[in-house]
Each structure stands twice: as structure tokens, then as C-alpha cells.
Structure 1
Amino acid sequence: MSRGKHFSQEEIEFLKVNALVMTTKELADKLGRNYWAVHRKLQAMGVIKNHVFTADEDFIIKRMYGKYTAKVIATKIGVDENAIYNRCKKLKLSQK
């Protein structure tokens, strides 16, 4: 049984279009919804926010790191900003 209001078709389309470029918090704020409601809806829709980085994307990150913000790099690659932070840690990149 649902406790809150159902997602409208426009909200679902918004989530499909923006799920991979906006954080769940940004999506929730934009829709005026609770973070966890949006999180559960994304899971129910099968939207996977985990990204498998390619060698080309790693190259782009290494070239842009330190010159551009994580948000710019994320937009260039088409992933979430937090994915860039985590990938930089994995690649052992540090500010010079």
C-alpha cells in the first residue's frame, strides 16, 4: 500500500532523462519529493547509477583533473559528480 502520492508520468520522464546527470538529492529537490522516495523509484525503474569506466574515460579524467571541477568532468563524461570523486581516489589522483 502506498503511503504517499504516486509519481506522475511527467515526473517519471524527468527521472529517466536526468537520473544519470543529477544526484538523487538534486532530483528530489527539483521534484519537491523526499530523497528516499526518489531513490526507491529509481530502483523500481531499474535505473542503475553505477558506471563502469572505460580506458578512454580514465584518460579524460586524468587529463582534466586539477584543471577543471569534478562537476565539469562529470558532465563531459556523463556520470554523477560523486562517481568522479570516487574514480579519482581509485586512480590515486591528487591535487598538485
Structure 2
Amino acid sequence: GILKPAFAVDGEPDFESGEPLDGFEYLRRVRWEANQIPKVKVAKIDLSAARKEQTPYMPEIPDIPKCSPDLCASKEWEDSFITYFSETRLGILGT
């Protein structure tokens, strides 16, 4: 399985000697520490009950109101703006 050791290491770790001096001592300590941790448990959750209590991830956002027609740009204004922008750009870029 996934928990099978990759390297065979015998003996107990020697914590009294300070920092580990080789890889085998390091592995002994890691395995000792891993044995102190309880095995992982998988909880069985009733998802139908959890869904009833869950809040929506995204709030309800109302539609954007339509712009009043008298506030929209006229076709003549759009044409004059595009002409002005194009002339200004050509003046700056020189092409």
C-alpha cells in the first residue's frame, strides 16, 4: 500500500545524540514520529442534511438597469469622437 516503507531501517531512534548524523537515523526519527500520530479517519457525512444548511456561494445580484435613451451617445457624437481620436493618434504616432 501507500504506507509501505521505501527503505528498511532497523532499531529505535537516538534522540539523545543531537541532530541525526546520517539518513538512517533521520528515517528512524521520522518513522517514530509518524507512529505517534493517530491513523487518519474518514468521516461519513450525510450530504443531504449539509446542503439544507449551506448558504448560497454567490449572492443574488439584480440585473443592471437599462440606460435611459436620452443619456446614450448619439451616432453623430460617436462619429465625431472616433474622428478626433484617430486624428490625435496619428498626430502622436506620426503614421
- Scaled by the length of structure 1, the TM-score of the pair is 0.20
RCO higher in structure (CA 8 A, sep ≥6):
1
Instruction: Choose between structure 1 and 2: higher helix proportion.
Output: 1
Q: Which structure's CA Rg is the greater one?
A: 2
